Amino acid sequence: MHRPLIAANWKMNKTIGETEDFIHSFLAMIKDVDDVDILIAPPFTSLSVASSLLENTTVRLAGQNVFYEEKGAFTGEISPSMLLSAGCSHVIIGHSERRQYFSETDEIVNKKIKIARKNGLEVILCIGESLQEREEGKTFDVLSRQLTGSLKDVPLEGLTIAYEPIWAIGTGKTATPEQANEAHAYIRQWLRDYGEGSERVRILYGGSVTPENIKSLMAEPEVNGALVGGASLKPDSFARIINGAREATV
Ligand code: PEP
Beta carbon of 170 within 6 Å of any ligand 1 atom: yes
Over range 216-222, report the average pLDDT.
96
What pLDDT does residue 249 have? 81
171 CA → ligand 1 middle, Å: 9
What pLDDT does residue 106 have? 98
* Torsion over CA: 151, 154, 156, 158 (sign): negative
Beta carbon of 230 within 6 Å of any ligand 1 atom: yes
Beta carbon of 235 within 6 Å of any ligand 1 atom: no
What pLDDT does residue 205 have? 97
pLDDT digits (tens, 9 = 90+) for 162-215: 999 999 998 888 899 999 999 999 999 999 999 999 999 999 999 999 999 999
Given the residues 97, 104, 164, 220, the one annotated as active site: 164
- In sequence order, the 6+-apart residues with CB closer than 8 A to the CB of 17 are none
The number of distinct structural domains making up the chain is 1
The whole-angstrom separation of Cα 36 and Cα 4 is: 5
Range 183-205 burial, b when 16+ CB lie within 10 A, else e = bbebbbebbeebeeebeebbbbb
pLDDT digits (tens, 9 = 90+) for 70-119: 999 999 999 999 999 999 999 999 999 999 999 999 999 999 999 999 99
The whole-angstrom separation of Cα 76 and Cα 221 is: 41
164 is catalytic: yes
Does the pLDDT value for residue 248 go beyond 80?
yes
For 20, other C-beta atoms within 10 Å of its C-beta total 16
For the entire predicted model, the pTM comes to: 0.97
Task: Name which residue sits closest to atom 1 of ligand 1, judged by CA.
Answer: 229
Over range 216-239, report the average pLDDT.
97
95 is catalytic: yes
Range of the domain at 209: 5-248
User: 130-134, 145-149, 167-171: which range is least confident on average?
Assistant: 167-171
Distances, alpha carbon 42 to alpha carbons 78, 89, 99, 133, in Å: 14, 13, 19, 30
Burial grade of 209 (CB within 10 A; 0-12, 13-18, 19 or more): buried
pLDDT digits (tens, 9 = 90+) for 150-169: 999 999 999 999 999 999 99
What's 119's DSSP letter?
A: T
102 CA → ligand 1 middle, Å: 17
pLDDT band at 12; cut points 50, 70, 90: very high
What CATH number is attached to the domain comprising 106?
A: 3.20.20.70
pLDDT digits (tens, 9 = 90+) for 36-75: 999 999 999 999 999 999 999 999 999 999 999 999 999 9
Over range 237-249, report the average pLDDT.
95
Beta carbon of 169 within 6 Å of any ligand 1 atom: yes
The 3 state secondary structure assigned to 151-202 is: CCCCCCCCEEEEECCHHHCCCCCCCCHHHHHHHHHHHHHHHHHHCCCHHHCE
For 143, other C-beta atoms within 10 Å of its C-beta total 22
The whole-angstrom separation of Cα 186 and Cα 206 is: 16
pLDDT band at 250; cut points 50, 70, 90: confident
The whole-angstrom separation of Cα 200 and Cα 250 is: 19
